[in-house]
Amino acid sequence: MQKTLCLSVLLVVMAVIPFSLAAQDPGGSEDDRPLRYHIIVTANRSDTPRQELGSTFTVITARQLERMQKMTVLDALRTVPELDVVQAGGVGGQASVFIRGAKSEHTLVLLDGVEINDPSTPGRSVDLAGLAAADIERIEIIRGPQSVLYGSDALGGVIQIISKAGRGKLNGFLQGGAGSCNSFSESAGLSGGSGRASFSLGIARTDTDGISAASADLGNSERDGFGATTVSGRLSVDPAKNVHSDLILRYVASRIDMDNSGGVGGDDPNSIAAAQQLFTRFQARLSLCSGRWEQTVGLSFGRQDRRYRNDADAGHPLDSDRSSYLANMLRIDWQHRLRFIRSHTLIAGIESEYEKGESDYHSQSAWGPTDDVFARRAARTFAGYVQDHVRLGGEWFATLGARLDRHDRFGTKATYRLASTYTIRTSRTRIKASLGTGFKTPSLYQLYSLYGDEDLRPEASTGWDAGIEQSLAGERVILGATYFASEFTDLIDFDGVAWKYVNIGAARTRGIELSASAHVGGDLILGAGYALTRAEDAASGEDLPRRARHKASASVSWRPLAGVDASLDIQYVGRREDMDYSAWPAARVTLDDYVLLNLAWGYEVSRRIRLFAAMRNLGDARYEEILGYGTPGRSFAAGIKYSF
C-alpha cells in the first residue's frame, strides 16, 4: 500500500509540473525566484549562476529546511535520491553518506569552507549524526570527482554546509519544541549588521530518550538516548572599502548511549560515547582593479575529540572497553580570482594542510586483554590549482582545471576536471557534461598504525556525466536527466591474510538521475527525483553494500492561506545488500525496500510568533538502514518560534 501511494504521488507530481506555467516576476527568497537567478558557490569556489555550470548539483535552502522541518543535516540529506544515508540506530547514531554509490569516505564535507572529515578514523570519514540545522543558510551537494578544487577525499563529491550570516537591523529568535521519545529541542539566535560590520550568534540544544540502537524487533528494549549542544557564530568586518573579513566558529558537544552491536543480544545499558568538535575559519578578501582581481586568504582549524566507555555489567560481566580518538587539522589557503577578460574567470590558488591524529583502545573479555595504541602521527600536504571558467556568447560555458598535490609520504598526485554546458535559447534546453579525476590520500591510521603500510598509494577515481535540462515557464519549471559513470582504483581495504591495509580493491558505478521541479511563486513548490545506481565490485561484480539500486523522492510545499504552510515529502529506498557479521565468514543479505512519508505544518500567528508541527514516518514503516539496527517508527513533534 505504501509503495503504491509513493509511486502515485511521484507520478502526480511529475505530471503536474510541466503544466505549472504561471511564471511570476523575480523576488522574495531564492526558493521563490526563477532558477536562472540561483547562485552556486561550491562548484567553482566562487559565486556562479546555476545555468553556467556543467556540474550536477543539489541545493537545500534554509526555507526548505524550515518548511519541511528538518532538524538535522542528516534528515535533509535523506531527501536527496542521489545519496544513500545509513545510520546505526536513532538520532545521534553513527551515520554514513554515499554519493552515487562511492564509499562514504569518498565524500568530502565542508562547513563554511572547513573540512570536517575526521583524521583519527581509519578511513578519514565524517559522521554527520549530531549536526543540527538550526542556523544553516543552505546545503550544496556537488556530485562527481571534485579534487581539482578540493583535493583529497572528493572522489564521489562534495557536501558544503553554509551557515547564516548577519544582515540588517538587530534581530533574533527563541524556539522550543517537544516530541515523541521524550524529545526536546531549544534554540536561540541573534544577528544583525550595519555599515561595515555584521554578526550572527546561535545556540541549539537537543535531547531525546531515543530508541534502542540494536533493533527492538530482535528483542532489544533498552533505549539509547542522545544529547547535543551546538554553539555557532559568525563575525564579518570590512576594515576598508575593498577589504572584507569573516571569522566563523562552530562548537558541538554531544553524548550518546550505544549498544554493543546490532542484532540479537545487542543491548548494552552502559555503553556511552562523548564527543567535542570545534571548527573555525578566518578569511580576508581583498578586491583590486575595480573588482577584477580578488584575493582571499584563509586559515581553518578543526579539532575532534571522541571518547567511548563501556564498563562490565550484568549482561556482559567479563566484557569492557575504553577508547579515545583525537585529531587536529590546520589549513592555510590563498586564492586568486581574476576577471581581466570579460569572457574568462580564472581561479588559482595554493593550499597547505597539516593533520595529526591519535587513538587509544583497550578492551577486556574472556579471551583476555586487547590493546591497540596508535601514537600521534601527522601528515602534510601542499597543493596548487588553476581553473578557467569561460563564457562564450551567453550560451556556452566551459570550465577547465588542473591540480597538483604533494603529500609528505607518497609524493605527488595530479588531477584534472572539465565541465561544459550549452543552452539552446529558442527551446530553453540546456545540455551539460563533465569529466574529472579524484583521489584520496591514505589515512594516518592506514599509513602508520600496527596494521598500516607506509607504501600505500592514494585511492583514485575517474568519473563523467552527461545530461539535459528542459526549462519551462521562465525557468520556474525544470525537467532533468543525467547519466553518470565512475571507476575507482587502488582502493584501500584491510587484508585478513596479510593482516594489514593494502591497495586491493577496484569498483565501478553508473546510473541515471531524473529530476523535476516547479517553483510556482511562494504558494506552491513541487519536486520529484529518481536515481538508478549500479555500484559494483570490479572483480566479483557483486553490488557494494548499503547502496540502494533504486531511490525516489517527491515533495509538495503549499501555502494555502496567508501565514499557513504545509509540506509533504515522500522517500522511497529500494532493496540493497548488507553483510551479516554475526556469522563467520560474513554472509551477504538483502534488506527490504521501504517508504517514508513525512508531513510538516506551520502557522504564523503573528509577525513574531510561528507555530509548527511535524509527523515523521506517517505509515509507521518497519525498515533497516543497517542490518540489525533500529530505526524510528511513527513520531510527532511540535513547537513555537518567537522572532524579534
Q: Flag whether 203 is in a domain.
A: no
Q: Flag whether 545 is in a domain.
A: yes
Residue ranges of E strands in 408-499: 411-424, 429-440, 459-472, 477-495
Do the bridges between strand 48-49 and strand 39-40 make them parallel or antiparallel, or are there none, so unpaired? Answer: antiparallel
Lowest mean pLDDT among 13-27, 62-76, 208-222: 13-27
State percent of the chain over pLDDT 70.
94
CB crowding 434-460: b at 16 or more within 10 Å, else e:
bbbbbbbbbbbbbbbbebbbeebbbbb
pLDDT tens string 576-598: 999 998 878 889 999 999 999 99
Q: Flag whether 144 is in a domain.
A: yes
- Predicted confidence at residue 277, as pLDDT, reads 97
Q: Flag whether 193 is in a domain.
A: no
- Predicted confidence at residue 3, as pLDDT, reads 47
CB 192 within 8 A of CB 198: yes
Average pLDDT over residues 5-16: 40
Q: With cut-offs at 50, 70 and 90, classify the pLDDT of residue 496.
A: confident
Q: How many domains does the chain have?
A: 1
* Residue 212 to residue 224: CA distance in whole angstroms: 5
Q: What is the CATH number of the domain that holds 563?
A: 2.40.170.20
Q: Flag whether 572 is in a domain.
A: yes
Alpha helices (H) along 412-484: 444-448
Q: Flag whether 74 is in a domain.
A: yes
pLDDT tens string 321-341: 999 999 999 999 999 999 999
Which domain covers residue 587, as residue numbers? 2-161+292-599+624-632
Lowest mean pLDDT among 15-29, 362-376, 388-402, 409-423: 15-29
- Predicted confidence at residue 369, as pLDDT, reads 92
Average pLDDT over residues 127-155: 94
pLDDT tens string 424-439: 999 999 999 999 999 9
* Residue showing cell 520529484: 528
Q: Is the pLDDT of residue 64 over 70?
A: yes
pLDDT tens string 500-509: 999 998 999 9
Q: With cut-offs at 50, 70 and 90, classify the pLDDT of residue 4.
A: very low
Identity of the highest mean pLDDT range in 6-10, 282-286, 492-496 = 282-286
C-alpha count within 13 angstroms, C-beta hemisphere, residue 545: 13
- Predicted confidence at residue 393, as pLDDT, reads 87
Q: Is the pLDDT of residue 35 over 80?
A: no
Q: Flag whether 639 is in a domain.
A: no
- Predicted confidence at residue 474, as pLDDT, reads 81
Judged on CB neighbours under 10 Å (0-12, 13-18, 19+), 425 is exposed
Lowest mean pLDDT among 10-24, 35-49, 149-163, 249-263: 10-24
Q: Flag whether 272 is in a domain.
A: no
CB 464 within 8 A of CB 434: yes
- Predicted confidence at residue 31, as pLDDT, reads 54
pLDDT tens string 197-256: 999 999 999 999 999 999 999 999 999 999 999 999 999 999 999 999 999 999 999 999
Q: Report the chain's mean pLDDT, rounded to a whole number.
A: 92
